[in-house]
């Protein structure tokens, strides 16, 4: 059984207390590796290493940093097959999804920010003939990057890459539920030749590590993706210390389908946006609102397509859905399906766990006949569960779509550009897709409003987050 180790100051280290957690394969329920159950002493080691490496790393040129990021991207490409296998085994997602999405995007994150680093520049202003004011960006310092279990390598690299490109050193804390590809990445970091202490990987539970990471004075910023509940805890600990925070949290994303939508494209994409990665993507559409004249036709066709989705072994090319990430998460999802029944919901397809060995499988589930303000329509379930709700008018659907405490993303399906623009302005979310889904230009900001997020990731916004802007005024006469 493989034993994962922390990577601190260029060395792979066992946790100080020698304690480990079981790392289970969700598709079988079996423990296949051990992950460090690190504590504050391990966090102290990692922060000290990042702090010690910061001065020299921050003084490297953009070209030097970019070259190392590209080298790491190339190593991810060379090891893509192994990384995809590990991601699928660790998370339960189909191997095909890991191979086509997670690992290529992880590689692209490093390539993108290797190029993007040169875009971070200051501005200059001549106040009068003898005075010039200008700005410049300086690396912020050691930072903490905390990533979730649903897209383990994809989202971790999206944080690490801009931090390194900006000249920061990093303490990376992946989810203890899905640690394997972060461990593999630490091996590639060493192979790429990054200086010791520039990137450190710390494994363990947030309950044991969070306070130290959030309150240590040497840590200048925290970039977190995960649940709103955890984000609130991190904010509460870090805010009194005036650290910069980027919090990308929960979502309960609405899908608005108007009767004039391009039907087949809408149907095909909404099936994908509902159940990709077993619905365990913060951007999945879990509340599907359908204009009344189209409701019955779309419902029947949608349910028929969903019922045909194959749930099975993640390694099987034919599997559309794999296992959910853990037994506890499976129980949470099933509890919400029971709540839907208790609230009068009608299960149109799915609604149960599947007995596929000892794995954690849930059938893709479609529910109707729930009030828009029911707990199933308000709470983030984060699984293969969607609801269908008819709507009468634009005002009606906007009010329902905006009713939750979340505001991450929304999808609008209509061929009426005026209607689409009204929806874009009316929806209280950070991201709106019109006639598409998960169509991302990495140069654009990413993030939500309300309890879905604080700050923005991606593109130039990410580089600015990991930097401190300084204003200089020079009188030349």
Catalytic residue numbers read 248, 282
Helix axes 80-91 and 103-116, enclosed angle (nearest 10)? 120
Q: Are 352 and 363 in contact (CB under 8 A)?
A: yes
Which pairs with CB-CB distance under 8 Å and at least 24 residues apart come from 269-274?
Answer: 269/436, 269/437, 270/302, 270/411, 270/413, 270/437, 271/302, 271/305, 271/306, 271/309, 272/437, 273/411, 273/437, 273/438, 274/306, 274/364, 274/384, 274/386
Q: Which of 283, 284, 282, 266 is nearest to 274 (CA)?
A: 284
Collapsed DSSP state (helix, strand, coil) of residue 449: strand
Question: According to the 3-state scheme, what is the secondary structure of 246-305?
Answer: EEECCCCEEEEECCCCCHHHHHHHHHHHHHHHHHCCCCCEEEEEEEHHHHHHHHHHHHHH
Q: Strands, DSSP E only, in 292-368?
A: 346-349, 353-354, 361-362, 365-368
Binning the chain into helix, strand and coil, the percentages to the nearest 5 are 45, 25, 35
What whole-number distance in Å separates Cα of residue 197 and Cα of residue 217? 17
Q: Write the DSSP string, 6-66.
A: EEETTEEE--TT--EEEEEETTTTEEEEEEE---HHHHHHHHHHHHHHHHHHHTS-HHHHH
């Amino acid at each position: 059984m493989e034993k994962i180790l922390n990577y601190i100051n260029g060395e792979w280290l066992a946790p100080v207390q020698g304690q480990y957690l079981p790392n289970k394969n969700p598709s079988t329920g079996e423990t296949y590796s051990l992950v460090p159950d690190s504590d504050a002493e391990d966090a102290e080691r990692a922060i000290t290493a990042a702090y010690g490496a910061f001065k020299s790393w921050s003084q490297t040129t953009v070209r030097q940093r970019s070259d190392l990021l590209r080298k790491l991207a190339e190593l991810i490409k060379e090891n893509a097959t192994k990384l995809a296998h590990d991601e699928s085994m660790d998370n339960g997602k189909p191997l095909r999804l890991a191979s086509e999405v997670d690992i290529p995007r992880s590689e692209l994150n490093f390539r993108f920010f290797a190029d993007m680093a040169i875009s971070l520049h200051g501005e200059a202003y001549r106040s009068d003939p003898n005075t010039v004011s200008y700005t410049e960006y300086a690396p912020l310092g050691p930072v903490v990057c905390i990533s979730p279990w649903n897209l383990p390598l994809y989202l971790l690299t999206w944080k690490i890459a801009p931090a390194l490109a900006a000249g920061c050193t990093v303490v990376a804390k992946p989810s203890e539920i899905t640690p394997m590809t972060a461990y593999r990445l630490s091996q590639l970091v060493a192979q790429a030749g990054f200086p010791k202490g520039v990137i450190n990987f710390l494994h363990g539970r947030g309950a044991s590590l969070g306070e130290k990471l959030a309150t240590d004075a040497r840590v200048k910023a925290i970039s977190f993706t995960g649940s709103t509940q955890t984000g609130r805890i991190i904010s509460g600990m870090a805010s009194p210390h005036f650290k910069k925070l980027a919090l990308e949290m929960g979502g309960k994303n609405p899908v608005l389908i108007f009767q004039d939508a391009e039907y087949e494209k809408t149907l095909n994409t909404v099936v994908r946006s509902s159940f990709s990665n077993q619905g365990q993507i913060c951007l999945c559409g879990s509340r599907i609102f359908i204009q009344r004249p189209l409701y019955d036709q779309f419902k029947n066709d949608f349910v028929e397509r969903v019922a045909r989705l194959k749930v099975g072994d993640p390694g099987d090319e034919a599997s559309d859905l794999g296992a959910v990430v853990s037994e506890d998460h499976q129980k949470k999802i099933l509890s919400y399906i029971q709540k839907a029944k208790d609230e009068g919901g009608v299960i149109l397809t799915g609604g149960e766990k599947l007995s596929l060995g000892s794995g954690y499988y849930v059938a893709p589930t479609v529910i109707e006949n729930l009030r828009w303000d029911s707990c199933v329509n308000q709470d983030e379930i984060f699984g293969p569960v969607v609801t269908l709700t008819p709507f009468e008018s634009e005002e009606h659907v906007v009010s329902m779509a905006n009713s939750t405490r979340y505001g991450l993303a929304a999808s609008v399906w209509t061929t009426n550009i005026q209607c689409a623009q009204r929806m874009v302005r009316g929806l209280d979310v950070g991201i709106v897709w019109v006639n598409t889904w998960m169509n991302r230009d990495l140069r654009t900001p990413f993030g939500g409003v309300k309890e879905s997020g604080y700050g923005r990731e991606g593109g130039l916004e990410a580089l600015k987050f990991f930097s401190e802007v300084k204003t200089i005024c020079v009188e030349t006469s």
